[in-house]
Structure 1
Amino acid sequence: MAPTKEKAPTKAKAAAAPKGDKKAKRTTRLKNPLLADGVRRYAKGKLVQRKKLYSLKHLKNVRVEKPKVAITVVKKIGGAKNGGERKVLLKKSKSYLPTKPLIRKRTGKRCFRNHKRNTRKTLKSGKVLILLAGRHKGKRVVLLKTLKSGLLLISGPFALNSCPLRRISQNYVIATKTRLNLKSVKVPKHINDGYFRRAAKKKNTRTERDIFAEKAEKYVPSEQRKADQKTIDEALLKAINAHPEAKIVRRYLKSMFSLRTNQYPHRMQF
């Protein structure tokens, strides 16, 4: 057998400090049992936290007395049968607060008619548009301007394709690359959103009437509307004639837009 190594002499244990000595160091260790190979019950940070709490264990918590604050106030009340005095809370709970001043009145700025309108960049005055909806769908018209409501003011002109002054949403329009110079064309100020409103006829509900006897009234343009159409058409025709390809533009405005087989609008350039 191989000679066994002699064990090194163990260090002498530190002499236990006397019980009366308060400055003696604490040598207690917190238990951190082994749950599995290399896995302890408490993490390193958690163990440090526990040590700090253990070091404060022998200290006594000194409570600081706060000065008492009055919650109620005694108020004098008049009247013979009211007791003369009454305790009232200084800070009332939320249920006692008034609700009326907290209600805010909504201003008229939030109305839909006052919202900001955004139009596409391609929709500029003088552009030739293709209508996709309405009575005049398929026609090519000229864009005059964008109204305050966000609708587009268009015209045929009426002399070329029988499309009068109308309003249309930008959702039902295709903008082409053809554009006219409308610097000489001045749209009157009175042609706005209110210009196209029709006066609603008042119904007399008090008198008896026959439903079948009444006929639906057809819309007839006023003399003012006809005069405005003539003046704008004259200015538009002058702008078309001033175009370098005036004959082609006139034919283009007269023709109708349609799709044939194997023609897809998302692949076409207008």
Structure 2
Amino acid sequence: MARSKELVPGVGRFSRSQVAEKRGLFKGPKKSEKAAAASTPETVEKTVGGEKNGGKRLVPTSKAPKFYPAEDVRQPKQSRKTAKPTQLRSSITPGTVLILLAGRFRGKRVVFLKQLESGLLLVSGPFRVNGVPLRRVNQAYVIATSTKVELGGVKLSEELNDAYFAKPSAKGAKSAEEEFFQEGKPKAKEAFPASKAALQKEVDSTLIAAIKKTENLGKYLQSTWGLSKGQFPHQMVF
């Protein structure tokens, strides 16, 4: 029985998927078809006859698809803008003492070490002086002071980059039942990595040695900053 037999005019005996299955289209195109498709051009020049339609035209070799998806697939917009590195404020240089204005350690004074590739600032208290560890800070939320720490002999490790602050991916519960029974249990505290602790001690030791060269600089870093009634930051000199 012919595959193209119609039950009624315009309605075939088999559906599109049944015809594709009978023709074996799920196996993919043959090698000879791939080679032929690669060699054939996209358009062919043909001569059109007739008094009004005379001339040559470019005709596509392959027809457009008969059916289109019901929902349009959104194409990502191409941006001509190039990402530029974040420009550092002129008042912030390596060794500058900064005042944090937001976050867990707001009001603390920290020492600026360097700018990371992401544009954030790498700062440290140091931890042994005021309890502020190595952190990334946005320069929009700091006040640069005129106090500086001489970092001439301080060498920062190459490990201190944005990847250093990446959080490990936590694996969730295997099933909904395990997740249900784990809600009442306290979460186990993860131990701080020994490699990061060693790197923090290394940075602290070099920073503290540089801080001790200036009298009362350690006490200055230990003190917190705040505003009293009638004080305005834009009228103050830091």
TM range (shorter): 0.5 to 0.7
Q: Partner residue of 1:235?
A: 206
Is 1:73 equivalent to 2:44 in the alignment? Answer: no
- Compared with structure 1, are the counterparts of its residues 267 and 89 closer, same or farther at alpha carbon in structure 2 (3 Å cutoff)? farther
Q: Percent identity?
A: 39
Which of 215, 218, 222 pairs up with 1:254?
222
**Mapping of 1:20-35 within 5 angstroms?**
none
2:100 to 110, 131, 139: 131
- Structure 1 residues 151-170: aligned runs within 5 Å: 151-170=120-139
Tell me, what secondary structure is at the counterpart of 2:47? Answer: strand
Cα distance in 1 for partners of 2:105, 2:89 equals: 22
Distance 1:143 1:161 in 2: 14
Amino acid of the residue matched to residue 248 of structure 1?
N
Is 2:153 the partner of 1:187? Answer: no
1:100-158 deviation line (CA, Å, top 9, x unaligned): xxx99959x978xx542212111111000000111111010100100000010000011
1:158–1:90 distance in 2 versus 1, CA, 3 Å = same
8 Å CA contact 2:48, 2:56 repeated in 1: no
1:226 aligns with 2:197: yes
Residue 165 of structure 2 aligns with which residue? 196
**Structure label with greater radius of gyration:** 1
Superposition deviation, residue 207 in structure 1: 5.3
Query: When the two structures are aligned, how many residues end up with a matched partner?
Result: 178
Contact 2:47 2:57 (C-alpha < 8 Å) held by counterparts: no
Matching of residues 101-180 of structure 1 within 5 Å: 115-180=84-149
Distance 1:88 1:201 in 2: 70
Unpaired runs of 5+ residues, structure 1, are 1-71, 76-86
Write the deviation string for residues 245-268 of structure 1: whole angstroms up to 9, x where unpaired: x23211110100011111110100
Matched, 1:268 2:236: yes
2:184 alignment partner, one of 207, 213, 231: 213
- 1:241 CA drift (Å): 1.8
User: Counterpart amino acid of 2:102?
Assistant: A
Query: How far off its partner does 1:160 sit?
Result: 1.0
**What amino acid sits opposite 1:253 in the alignment?**
L
2:123 partner SS: strand
TM value normalised by structure 2: 0.65
Which residue pairs with 1:27 in the alignment? none
CA RMSD of aligned residues (A): 3.4
Three-state SS of the structure 2 residue aligned to 1:175 is: strand
Determine the structure 1 residue equivalent to 2:68: none
